[in-house]
Amino acid sequence: MTDGGVSGAARRRLERSGIATARRIVVKVGSSSISGANVGQIAPLVDALASAHGRGAEVVLVSSGAIATGMPYLQLDERPTDLATQQAAASVGQNLLIFRYQDSLDRYDIIAGQVLLTAGDLENASPRSNAQRAMERLLGLRILPIVNENDTVATHEIRFGDNDRLAALVATLVKADLLVLLSDVDALYTRPPHLPGAERIDHVAVGDTLPDVEFGSSLSGVGTGGAGTKVSAARIAQDAGTAVLVTSTALVAEALRGDAIGTWFEPAEPAVGGRTAGHELS
């Protein structure tokens, strides 16, 4: 196992200028970015992940898209609303999604490991400990874990709600230095970016409640997230000492290179032992 972001004493507070030196990174990508007409974005996403992996970083991908990927094979034109059909679409789509990622990762001789979680897995001590141990071992073996919600068995009552939150909890679980939340928009804005007067938010300090910001919801029709869910997720990771960058999937290479793009959530100062009060997930 490498020393990236693991031991509390060695963990550092990542500055934006140090993105390219982040040692443990969690990247989350949404359904609309890698399914349907955008399935071609998987290859450049993998290129960026492989570049970070190649410089020695430990990389975890949290990927939505199982239901969206499975929909065409169930002859569905829109995301199903009933749980059973969502589970069926996820069962078909998860297999295809992982195949597409591994097929692309083969170009770099990187092996993916599939990790499917439910909210209960991270809320209860025993399964949470098991998940943490498995993730640490995968990273130590230089495997690239691909995490998704286990939609085939999850119920409405125990769902994460969106994979932005899942990504934040995974980043906290593995004590990541950096969480990158990708979507179709290049940054957070003071209001939905298609509206007049929308201004890009460059930096969010710890404790900034963004009182004057108006958030929209996902417009893709295949995902469940939006700007509000990204802010909520970013706060979970930020408060636990993980830096967060919110930007678009199309800019993932620039994001992991450290270019001045997206919206940066500065991390809280990590507490002794790598934990911050209220977020002891490990």
Report the CATH number at residue 231: 3.40.1160.10
Q: Which domain holds residue 261?
A: 16-265
How much is the average pLDDT of 235-258? 97
Examine residue 273 and state whether it is found in any structural domain, yes or no: no
Examine residue 62 and state whether it is found in any structural domain, yes or no: yes
Question: Per residue in 16-59, pLDDT tens?
Answer: 999 999 999 999 999 889 998 999 999 999 999 999 999 999 99
Examine residue 7 and state whether it is found in any structural domain, yes or no: no
How many Å apart are CA 171 and CA 185, to the nearest integer?
21
Domain count of the chain?
1
Examine residue 213 and state whether it is found in any structural domain, yes or no: yes
Examine residue 3 and state whether it is found in any structural domain, yes or no: no
Sheet holding 112-117, edge to edge: 112-117, 144-149, 58-63, 24-29, 178-183, 243-248, 263-265, 203-204
pLDDT for res 272:
56
pLDDT for res 118:
84
Examine residue 243 and state whether it is found in any structural domain, yes or no: yes
Q: Model's pTM, two decimal places?
A: 0.88
How many Å apart are CA 3 and CA 23, to the nearest integer?
8
How many Å apart are CA 253 and CA 45, to the nearest integer?
7
> Is 47 assigned to a binding site?
no
Examine residue 8 and state whether it is found in any structural domain, yes or no: no
- The percentage of residues in the chain with a pLDDT greater than 70, rounded to a whole number, is 85
Residue 224 backbone class (left: φ over 0; alpha: ψ -120 to 50; beta: rest)? alpha
Examine residue 276 and state whether it is found in any structural domain, yes or no: no
Residue 269 pLDDT greater than 90, yes or no: no
> Is 151 assigned to a binding site?
yes
161 — pLDDT class (breaks 50, 70, 90) = low
How many Å apart are CA 27 and CA 44, to the nearest integer?
14
Kindly report the length of the chain. 282
> Is 186 assigned to a binding site?
no
> Is 64 assigned to a binding site?
yes
pLDDT for res 182:
96
> Is 109 assigned to a binding site?
no
Residue 228 pLDDT greater than 70, yes or no: yes
- In sequence order, the 6+-apart residues with CB closer than 8 A to the CB of 55 are 20
Q: Which amino acid is at 53?
A: H
> Is 183 assigned to a binding site?
yes
Dihedral (Cα; 39, 43, 44, 48), 10-degree rounding = 130
